[in-house]
Chain A
Amino acid sequence: MRNNSLKLGLFLLIIAGIAGLGIAYVNEITNPLIEQQLITNKLNSFQEVYVGAEKITDESEKYLDGDADSILTEVNVVYEKNTPAGVIYTVEPSGYNGKIQLLAGFDIATKQITAIKVLNLSETPGLGDNAKQSFFTERFKGKSAEKNLEIVKKEPVEGNQVLAITSATITSKAVANGVNAARQHFMDNFIK
């Protein structure tokens, strides 16, 4: 009996071993491709929110210490001729249905939002889901970083107001919250 269960265990071990080898082999082939893809994707999205960025360095460790807002997850600084020219934040505010991951770019010289881009979200299709569409993200472009952005339901009258997505106020507000957190950090750390 004992002998038998040992045999069975050994058999499973062998199967699992072969399976492991197989997975390791496929991983070997695909991993570099996947890594490469993630990096290109990231650089492409960075380019989208800060057009013409030459050199981008991840300085999250320097800026995101204990005091920073916890929805900020990454700080990437854009350098031009070795002086910081802009900042790209990755923020993860909570939306209607889980976290929304988005990028927000800021320009140091003009103190403006260069652009925002939604990377990941799981909002209601057809409603909050529209937050990733350019018609909504365009509304943040060129807004001043000096004032808190505010989501409104009717055509904005003030410079710091952003028109909400119809019937998706919660998602719109979540995006604005994320951008505001980044904006605050930007004003505190990069504008003297």
Chain B
Amino acid sequence: MTVLWTDALVYLLLLTTIGLAFYLHDKEHIQRPLNKIRASKVGMVSLVVLLFFLVVGLLDSVHFKASQEKANEVISLLDYFATPLREHNEKTYSAPFATTLYSKEIVEQNGVIHWDYPRLVHGGNHLKYPGKEQLTDILIKGLTGFLIGVVIFVFPLIPIIDVRDYIINFVSNQNDIVPIVKPPTEYNKPVLMTLFLILTISSTLGYLSLYYHVLGTDKVGEDVFYQAIKSIRTGLVIGTLTTLIMLPLAIIFGILAGFFQGWVDDVIQYIYTTLNSIPGVLLIAASILMVQVYMNSHEADFTSAIVRADMRLLFLCLILGVTSWTGLCRLLRAETLKLREMEYVQAAQALGVKRAAILLRHILPNVMHIVLISVVLDFSSLVLAEAVLSYINIGVDAATYSWGNMINGARLEMAREPIVWWSLSAAFVFMFALVLAANLFADVVQDAFDPRSMGERN
């Protein structure tokens, strides 16, 4: 197993989250808002979607060497599962579900040379007469994939459901035997529905992609579906790691400046106004180039392409984090200025509570709603920023799969005639699903953890 830098950070983040959840699981006042989240349909549905993205991202974060011979090729668990997808490369563009390339070429058939759409190497190559069989084949394969999804969905339930009871119940037509599994309640119905949809859709697409390119192929003939899935990790890493770097800076500086005022405030304000007055793009470009130079001069340490790409991703997160904390810091400073005059802070002072405790107990929890909102907004804008930076070649490595790179590539594809729309659409749909789910979930979390909104809704 090979652990890349970003992998390590992702594991660390995951462990911290689990640890935090374990620490809080018996705290009564945390349980109450959590129950509220559980009761919220929107919250649970978006959580399921987020978890799905997370699982894909995690699978993609477990790296190992592909084989003994090829020491330099590091692949992830996701790559391993998606081997057919990964290796089914075509020559160039092909449309979703197509059996031929997107443009005409000189084809040699039975010794005759003519100008036609050449057949794809992998997409639909099991068909003899693509024109006739294609549609029925897609439907049959799609249905098979759907059924596999249904089985995967039902399978974990089988050991829990006592089938015998159901059969007896059914045969004797008695209603007094209570099934062990409770029927879906109002709350978990939408969750099961979402889970069902996600499983069936992904297994349908997964099964189909063994035979076709469900989202087409890109300029060099790579499967777009595979690219879109691989980009999930990049999006999550940029969104979470950058936030992780930005949050401590913003929270600590913002609260300290607002609470202590005086020279502390002056110093912190100078720091962030200075940082703000340097164009962010230049700073990012400079540090990315620095990393590039460093890697070139230490080539021995960065043997494989994936390690180099990962280093660049990590530094991108780092520098994005360092340049983007000022906005939140300013907001938090202003809010703290307001909060420190609140009477409960004065009451705590009168009770002899130490300043550190006041900051932690009275100020921090009361600015958390701002933190939460801006984190979610930043998450989406960071995914977008990545796209912009890729455009001027200082974003993630060109070899890294990312929605930004896909959108960047689509610049030329949109200008083509006939237009190549699938790369952009795929990136858009995946990004949209992730950002929307994150936004909706954050909304619900914020409502649930604000005691003042309790009882007003639900």
- Specify whether A and B are partners: no
Please list the residues of chain A having a beta carbon within 8 angstroms of any beta carbon in chain B. none
Give me the interface of B with A, judged by CB distance under 8 Å. none
